[in-house]
Structure 1
Amino acid sequence: MEKYIGCVMEIIYLGRDNRITQRCIEIREVQDRIIKAFCHQRRAPRVFRIENILAMQPVDSQVS
């Protein structure tokens, strides 16, 4: 997971409330089973549990 630090990724995430959301995040730090990232949807730093990430793919920087 550390290889994605600094990358913008699109994730499908299962939140605390069991809702599934799609987010675009920039990974800033990986610790244990936690990802600290900037969430473009919320425009704020967020923390994500790796086990709650259902799918993940890099965002193509060529596409806007």
Structure 2
Amino acid sequence: MPNKYIGHIVEIIYMSKSGEFSQRKVRVSSVKDGIVRAVDKANGEWRTFVESNILAWQPVEGTA
């Protein structure tokens, strides 16, 4: 995930370590060494994602 998304809300499709898929809207806080830290917009909780397990991402329009 490019650093240009830091501070923006993106919608991601993610595969967990157990192979489960999820779709979330998150506000990206940092991208470093293959780890993405973000706040889940649905519940306000911090999440950590392995960048290689993010299968797709798309910026959510009208956010900054």
TM-score of Structure 1 vs Structure 2, range by shorter chain: 0.7 to 0.9
Instruction: Report how many aligned residue pairs link the two structures.
Output: 62
CA-CA distance at 1:16 after TM superposition = 1.9
Aligned position for 2:6: 5
CA distance in 1 between counterparts of 2:55 and 2:12 reads 7
C-alpha RMSD over aligned residues: 1.3
User: What's the TM-score, normalizing by structure 2?
Assistant: 0.88
Greater relative contact order, per chain length (Cα 8 Å cut-off, separation 6+): 2
Aligned position for 1:35: 36
User: What's the TM-score, normalizing by structure 1?
Assistant: 0.88
CA distance in 1 between counterparts of 2:22 and 2:38 reads 15
Instruction: State the Cα deviation string for residues 5-63 of structure 1 (Å, max 9, x = none).
Output: 0010000000122110000000001111000100113420110111000110000127x
- Structure 2 stretches of 5 or more lacking a match? none
4+ runs deviating over 3 angstroms: none
CA distance in 1 between counterparts of 2:53 and 2:29 reads 18
Aligned position for 2:61: 60
